[in-house]
């Protein structure tokens, strides 16, 4: 039995040594050169990452920070501790405005329309009036 286990050990050692030689003897695959395609019709630009930061202060203390980054706008406000407890510079979670309404838009549009109508009326009065056709006779009701 010892002789057969010795032969198995020798055979497995030879197989382990011969394996890299067999793998190295294979030729690497042939690489094909790809043709250049046409450039893409669309160019991708990085979005504007410019940040605009506005701070509001009262008596030297920051009360609100407005951060505008791209299309997003959010506000940071300090966490005011209750009482006279003085802590470090703590900030509450950021707040995003959900909906903003401009109530003065209708008034501005109405004022612009009134100004345009007045300008048109003034322009019409400055020009000589054209002859208007005579008005048709109103129909009389049948008896």
- Give bridge partners of residue 133 from the DSSP assignment: none
Residue 57 near residue 63, CB atoms below 8 Å: yes
Residue 130 is encoded by which pair of tokens? Answer: 């054209």
**For the segment 46-56, what is each residue's pLDDT rounded down to a tens digit?**
766 688 999 99
What mean pLDDT value characterizes the chain? 77
Q: Is the pLDDT of residue 84 over 60?
A: no
Q: Look up tokens 């008896």; give the residue.
A: 143
Average pLDDT on 22-32 reads: 76
Q: What is the pLDDT of residue 101?
A: 75
Residue 134, beta-bridge partner list: none
How far from the centroid of its chain's Cα atoms is residue 108's Cα? Answer: 30
Q: What average pLDDT score do residues 119-129 get?
A: 66
Model confidence band, residue 29 (pLDDT cutoffs 50, 70, 90): confident
């Amino acid at each position: 039995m010892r002789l057969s286990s010795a032969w198995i050990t020798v055979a497995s050692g030879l197989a382990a040594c011969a394996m890299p030689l067999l793998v190295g003897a294979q030729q690497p695959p042939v690489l094909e050169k790809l043709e250049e395609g046409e450039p893409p019709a669309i160019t991708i630009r990085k979005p504007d990452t410019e940040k605009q930061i506005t701070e509001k202060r009262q008596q030297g203390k920051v009360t609100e920070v407005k951060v505008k980054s791209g299309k997003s706008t959010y506000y940071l406000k300090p966490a005011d501790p209750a009482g006279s407890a003085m802590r470090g510079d703590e900030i509450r979670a950021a707040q995003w405005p959900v909906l903003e309404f401009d109530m003065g838009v209708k008034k501005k549009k109405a004022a612009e329309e009134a100004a345009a109508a007045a300008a048109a009326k003034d322009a019409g009065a400055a020009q000589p009036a054209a002859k208007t056709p005579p008005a048709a006779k109103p129909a009389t009701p049948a008896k």
